[in-house]
Amino acid sequence: MALMPKRVKHRKSQRGRIKGSATRGNTVVFGDYGIQSLDAGWIKATTIEAGRIAAQQYVRGEGKLYIRIFPDKSVTSTPLETRMGKGKGEPDFWAAVVKPGTILYELGGVTEQQAKVCFARLASKLPVKVRFVERRPA
């Protein structure tokens, strides 16, 4: 089963606009290296899961992978060949809303070269442009 929240306040959310850049979740906190979004967009729960699997297969227990985004927005669609009216469709999939600057994934316990290769594999699965970032010394 893909990632989805246990409970939501409202069953069907509106689309909304993604404006501005991330002020929270824009620094590497848990691992040593991370990938940061350069674009705004929605990332499906299945895409997040596919990225997790690709990264886990590469590190093979050496390092620790941290996923910093969670799909908490329901995206609905009305069925094909349905006339106008009849309300909003059922939730089709769950997505994480990503702003520019959001850290998506982090890796700890691996070398920089391993992290770059792992994140290059992971970036090919994502619908937004990303860049490799390191943890800043405190």
Percent of the chain's residues with pLDDT above 90: 71
pLDDT at 61: 81
Asked if the model's pLDDT at residue 88 lies above 80, the reply is yes
Q: Which helix (H) or strand (E) holds 106?
A: strand 103-108
pLDDT at 1: 58
Asked if the model's pLDDT at residue 138 lies above 80, the reply is no
For the chain, the structural domain boundaries read 33-73+93-134
Q: Which helix (H) or strand (E) holds 3?
A: none
Enumerate the β-bridge partners of residue 43. 96
Give the span between the Cα atoms of 100 and 84, in whole angstroms: 35
Q: Are 51 and 130 in contact (CB under 8 A)?
A: no
Q: What is the mean pLDDT of the chain?
A: 92
Q: Are 95 and 45 in contact (CB under 8 A)?
A: yes
Please give the full DSSP string across 37-91, using - where no structure is assigned: E-S-EEEEHHHHHHHHHHHHHHHTTSSEEEE-----EEEEEPPTT--S-S---EE
Q: What is the pLDDT of residues 36-55, one digit of tens each?
A: 999 999 999 999 999 999 99
Q: Does domain 33-73+93-134 have CATH number 3.40.190.80?
A: no
Q: Name the token pair of 1.
A: 């089963």
